[in-house]
Amino acid sequence: MVKGWARDIAYALLRLKWKADWQKIMQEFNDYGGFYPTANDYLDRVSRGDTSGDGSYPSIGTIFGKHSSTSDTTKKHKEIIFRHKDGNPENEGKWELLYYDESWDEEFITPSELHSDLIGTLHLNPSISRFLLAGFNFPDEPGDVYLISNPAWPGWLKCGKSGSVSSRLSSYQTGSPHRDYAPDFTRFFPDCGAAEKRAHTLLRNLATDSQNEWFEISLLDAISILESL
């Protein structure tokens, strides 16, 4: 999951048609704050006279300005999502988005006039997709989309995906002293990531309420949605 400034910059580039300089990215943050939670939080603090912390524009320029950026700079094996070489005359100092995965956002909104090579939930930059496809392996994996519940939250179901539902359920049980998470329904899909994404959209439309992967909905309605995919 891409979060923070990395997510906001990537999504801004997607809305700005894959490339933009830093000034245009900042303008995008100012004009459409609702799309950018980290930038919006920073701008809100600035409006109140508080510019402390690591979220400032100057520090972002230092972090991302002169080398490739990643979704998690602490990991040894990094997945580059966008890049920028400050002052490079070949790209005129522009940031360039390489790819964007819809699953990074629960409320993904496809930008108007978006041009991309779409693979599952992954939007690839059309100008470089052939190089990305040669260097990365992006196939959607087979697995189960599942529904689980817990009596602590009656009427709520969690919808997720996994190659091993029993292992996933076991990991949830460690967080419950009563080990009372119950598997209610599973369905196998050759492309479980894309199926989960479609399920979340349909569940959110029908549910009384939703929080991330949890939905306030009857089990029969939720099963009906998964069976319709």
Give 17-29 pLDDT, tens digit per residue.
Answer: 998 887 888 899 9
The answer to whether 221 touches 164, Cβ cutoff 8 Å, is no
pLDDT at 52 over 50: yes
pLDDT of residue 210: 92
The residue-averaged pLDDT of 123-149 equals: 77
Q: What DSSP string describes 85-108? A: -TT-TTTTT-EEE-EEEGGG-TT-
Assign 12 to helix, strand or coil. helix
pLDDT of residue 134: 66
Provide the total of helices (H) and of strands (E) in the chain, helices listed first.
8, 12
Name the residue among 193, 199, 187 with its Cα closest to residue 120: 193
pLDDT of residue 66: 39
Assign 193 to helix, strand or coil. helix
pLDDT at 86 over 60: no
pLDDT at 170 over 90: no
Q: Quick one: pLDDT band at residue 63, thresholds 50, 70, 90?
A: very low
The residue-averaged pLDDT of 159-165 equals: 85
pLDDT of residue 84: 62
Q: Is residue 166 exposed (0-12), middle (13-18) or buried (19+ Cβ within 10 Å)?
A: exposed
Q: How many CB atoms lie within 10 A of CB 126?
A: 11
In total, the chain counts a number of residues equal to: 229
How does pLDDT run across 205-228, given as a tens digit for each residue?
A: 999 999 888 999 999 999 999 999
pLDDT at 77 over 70: no
How does pLDDT run across 189-210, given as a tens digit for each residue?
A: 888 878 888 899 999 999 999 9
Amino acid at 39: A
pTM of the model: 0.54
The answer to whether 205 touches 126, Cβ cutoff 8 Å, is no
Lowest-confidence segment of 37-51, 53-67, 83-97, 137-151 by average pLDDT: 53-67
Q: What DSSP string describes 130-147? A: HHHHHH---PPPPEEEEE
Q: Could you give the CA distance from residue 176 to residue 171 in angstroms, rounded to a whole number? A: 10
Q: What is the mean pLDDT of the chain?
A: 79
